[in-house]
Amino acid sequence: MDRWVYDWNRCGDPAPEKCVPEARPVEVHDETLRDGLQCPSAKNPPLQAKRDFLHILVRMGVHSVDIGLPASGRHVREDTLRLAEEIARGSLPLEAACAARTVEADVRSIVEISQRAGIPICVALFIGSSAVRKFIEGWDLAFLLKATRECVSLAVGEGLPVVFVTEDTTRAFPRVVRDLYATAMGCGARRICIADTVGCATPTVARNLVAFVRGLMAESGQEVRLDWHGHNDRGLGLMTALVALEAGVDRLHGSALGLGERVGNTPLDLLLVNLKLMGRWPGDLAPLSDYVEWTARWTGVQIPWNYPVFGRDAYRTSTGVHASAILKALDQGHDALADVVYSAVPPSWFDKSQIIEVGPMSGESNAIFWLKGHGFEPTQENIAAVMRLAKASNQTLSDDELYGALAPPENA
């Protein structure tokens, strides 16, 4: 495809091989079963559906999954245990993680589940870090540091890995970020996470904050990994995640269809599509269709019609110029070019194809394509009948409407 499409992501240098950024390994962490289910419009799927979801993640090549916040209630605690047991029983190549407030009881509930399931569970300890949260809760920095020290030390002492998450990092003051991360790393946290909890980060924020935190990691002298957890309140969740990756993040968080509190999290499905297009994801994207369909079915959240790649209209066109270009590529035997002439993401990656329909913005190419695909000869009479109906309509026509405008095909 390099013969046909120039990639300006390579910086536009006449010798693009000089400009390709270093391709570090990328890890992804799925938050659908925890943060995603905080979506106020989502239903909580039954346990067996959640088990099935874990196997979809394995097929996708996802590295880790948050299986719940067990301290939030008996039902969640039970589901969390059963999901941990599913990972253990099937020896699934997934790191299980559980969310926890920086409260001793939260940590101990995860320790118990880990012991009962027989697998290590990463303790995702989170604590508010912005001045807004501190003021509302009546916290001071000394309280935050004490809670961090005690809970990280408890989890590490029980032999569990810790990812230390500072909520609202993207609005916190540098001194607070520095002290919290230094304390967590000093107590044994080997992964820290920047959280854009209210989705306020811009690409500039992502670049600056990641650079700042990586500096803290270097100062610590510890082998520590860095995560980015983003939300989509400004519509920038996917963009800031990709910028954070290029700035030096090791692992990106997301959820299916971007489910999450308020308007949601970084959409993990679209994140993987973009990583694939960037040459940064080695896995097969075909399971993403099952991933988004599972989410729509079991959470009751519909896939928006204009959702990239997986929405109903992602590969539909009724526009004459677009249809004409697609058909010319097909007529020349260039199926791959038909996939990309008016699409950034090839539909064949997901066992999909371009869909050409007929509507008021259509040209004769649309009519010819529809006629051939439905057993009609593309005669001038039939083309004219289709076009008369299309130009008199204010929307894309259904097959039934088009059949009604034509005599039945000879082979009907």
In percent, how much of the chain has pLDDT > 70?
A: 93
pLDDT at 217 over 50: yes
Q: How far apart are CA 98 and CA 106, in angstroms?
A: 10
Q: pLDDT tens for residues 89-124?
A: 999 999 999 999 999 999 999 999 999 999 999 999
pLDDT at 342 over 70: yes
The confidence band for 220, taking pLDDT boundaries of 50, 70 and 90, is very high
The confidence band for 369, taking pLDDT boundaries of 50, 70 and 90, is confident
Report the pLDDT value the prediction gives residue 336, as an integer from 0 to 100: 87
Q: pLDDT tens for residues 276-306?
A: 999 999 988 999 999 999 999 999 999 999 9
Mean pLDDT confidence for 42-59: 98
Higher-pLDDT residue of 374 and 252 is 252
Are 256 and 269 spatial neighbours (Cβ–Cβ below 8 Å)? yes
Q: pLDDT tens for residues 120-166?
A: 999 999 999 999 999 999 999 999 999 999 999 999 999 999 999 99
- What sign does the CA torsion over 354, 360, 364, 367 have? positive
Report the pLDDT value the prediction gives residue 10, as an integer from 0 to 100: 62
User: How distant, in Å, are the alpha carbons of 110, 126, 160, 171, 408 from that of 163?
Assistant: 13, 9, 10, 20, 65
Report the pLDDT value the prediction gives residue 19, as an integer from 0 to 100: 47
Counting Cα atoms < 13 Å in the Cβ hemisphere of 239 gives 12
What value does the CA radius of gyration of the chain take, rounded to a whole number of Å?
25
Q: How far apart are CA 343 and CA 148, in angstroms?
A: 48
The confidence band for 320, taking pLDDT boundaries of 50, 70 and 90, is confident
User: Which of these, 76, 75, 87, 147, lies nearest to 114 by C-alpha position?
Assistant: 87
pLDDT at 22 over 60: no
pLDDT at 41 over 80: yes
The confidence band for 39, taking pLDDT boundaries of 50, 70 and 90, is very high
How far apart are the two ends of the chain, measured CA to CA in Å?
Answer: 41
Report the pLDDT value the prediction gives residue 330, as an integer from 0 to 100: 84
Report the pLDDT value the prediction gives residue 405, as an integer from 0 to 100: 83
Mean pLDDT confidence for 305-334: 90
Report the pLDDT value the prediction gives residue 301, as an integer from 0 to 100: 97
Report the pLDDT value the prediction gives residue 20, as an integer from 0 to 100: 46
Q: Has domain 23-299 been given CATH number 3.20.20.70?
A: yes
Q: pLDDT tens for residues 326-340?
A: 888 888 888 888 888
Q: Please write down the HEC assignment for all residues of 380-411.
A: HHHHHHHHHHHHCCCCCCCHHHHHHCCCCCCC
Q: What residue ranges do the domains of the chain occupy?
A: 23-299, 316-404
Report the pLDDT value the prediction gives residue 338, as an integer from 0 to 100: 85
pLDDT, the chain, mean: 93
The confidence band for 18, taking pLDDT boundaries of 50, 70 and 90, is very low
Counting Cα atoms < 13 Å in the Cβ hemisphere of 121 gives 34
